[in-house]
Structure 1
Amino acid sequence: MERLQREVDRVIKSFGGYWEPFEMLGAVVEELGELSREMLKFEGIKKDEGNSRIEEELGDVLFALICIANYYNINLEKALDKTISKYSFRDKERWRSSTL
């Protein structure tokens, strides 16, 4: 993940630098909308003859999130490790069948 964060940083700096924080948040929201549209098409909820681009849109969401992490100097690998631990502890009983 650190390699990806460095690569995104290189690309963004080659474009002149990061957007303002709420502009980047807007980009995340926009990309999530595009991901949602592609998932609706894939699941047959929204009719479209084109090919699903879920992979591309997931990449776009991740890129936008990495931009925010880089702006705030957050190590995403460490952040995700903490989140995995949180969910592993907090929600360990949540996914068990209620019929057991």
Structure 2
Amino acid sequence: MIDKPLYNTVDIQKRVDDYISQFKEGYFSPLSLMARMTEEIGELAREVNHYYGEKPKKSTEVEKTVEEELGDIIFVLTCFANSLDIDLSQAFNLAMTKFETRDKDRWTRKEDS
């Protein structure tokens, strides 16, 4: 894990938008983006299974990493958010507030040392 992020969500959303905006096609439709997200999650599942599961890679398979697949998911997720004009910082804050309130007593806390 990196101590300091290279990008914040505003930077990520702008960088993806700058990239997509150079093409006439622009963002895919929400349904197509959902399909792409599903594909990327499947690719992540495959990598996790190769590294941590019982299914080793075939010698003919291209070497990919969990990190690479997570990056692909972040890209597609950002395309999805941008196409629907959703601020990922706000979406993240909503999710964290939900988890920090709803699940605040759900798990066993670590003892302070």
Q: Same fold (TM over 0.5)?
A: yes
In the alignment, structure 1 segments of 5+ residues that lack a partner are: none
State which of 32, 45, 57 in structure 1 corresponds to 2:54: 45
Partner of 1:5 in structure 2? 13
Partner of 2:5 in structure 1? none
Partner of 1:73 in structure 2? 85
Q: How far apart are residue 82 of structure 1 and its match?
A: 1.3
- Paired residues of 1:42 and 1:52 also in contact (CA < 8 A): no
Partner of 1:55 in structure 2? 67
In the alignment, structure 2 segments of 5+ residues that lack a partner are: 1-8
**How far apart, in 2, do the equivalents of 1:44 and 1:35 lie?**
12
**TM-score normalised by the chain length of structure 1:** 0.89
Aligned residues: 97
Note the aligned Cα RMSD (angstroms): 1.5
Runs of 4+ residues over 4 Å off in structure 1: 49-52
Partner of 2:4 in structure 1? none
Q: How far apart are residue 44 of structure 1 and its match?
A: 3.5
**TM-score normalised by the chain length of structure 2:** 0.79
Partner of 1:25 in structure 2? 34
**How far apart, in 1, do the equivalents of 2:105 and 2:81 lie?**
31
More deviation in 15-24 or 55-64? 15-24
